[in-house]
Chains A and B, each alone.
Chain A
């Protein structure tokens, strides 16, 4: 079965600093991987996805993620944090059944200080 582990329930950065949110996956087949963002009292918004094409994936709002098979990782980065990036971020892996069902990590809350 597929699973993802997000390291760090909370990450704090200063505005303008590098953002790095970690995600490791476990999958018996080549995975489809996703990063979602959730602002307070809102649903999930897709940031980016990896579907076995380019290993470096660019998403919305300046975020990107690199798929590293050797490390089973799919870490999310942004060169310069903005106050508006403060939110909860979820890494997810798609199941191997062919359905679009996702298995999510527990999430990482990103805190951005001025």
Chain B
């Protein structure tokens, strides 16, 4: 049974560029949440997707956007990258918006 899978595992971008990160949820899960973990910090909630709609959003600017597909997989897009966007981006899936979260291993983004 595959767990939560994320791609790519590492990537490097320059300021002003755009990035797309991808997540496939654990088998049987229908909800995807995204978290940003800056170096030396705990994860911070970005947003949650259920039934292809954003259901909850944390305190992140509109440069951060997402999408959920009919197969429940999800993308996180970040536009106009800043140095401060460098972080580990974690995807978590759950069964429903109240289900227990299962985390992937993350995508590490470095912005130069």
Give the B-binding residues of A (Cβ under 8 A).
36, 41-46, 49, 90, 92, 97-107
Contact = CB atoms under 8 A, between A and B. Distances in A.
Interface of B: 4, 31, 33, 40-45, 48, 55-56, 58, 90, 92, 94, 97-106
Contacts of B44: 104
A49 B102 CA distance: 13
B98 A98 contact: yes
A43 B42 contact: no
Given A42-B105, A46-B100, A100-B101, 14 more contacts: A36-B103, A43-B105, A44-B90, A46-B101, A49-B100, A92-B42, A98-B97, A99-B48, A100-B31, A100-B100, A101-B33, A101-B48, A104-B42, A106-B41
A100 B98 contact: yes
Contacts, number: 58
A56 to B, nearest CB: 20
Contacts of A99: 48, 55-56, 97-98
A73 B56 CA distance: 27
Nearest to B100: A100
Contacts of B42: 90, 92, 104-107
Contacts of A103: 45
A107 B101 CA distance: 18
B38 to A, nearest CB: 10
A78 to B, nearest CB: 20
A44 B48 contact: no
A102 B94 CA distance: 12
A91 B56 CA distance: 21
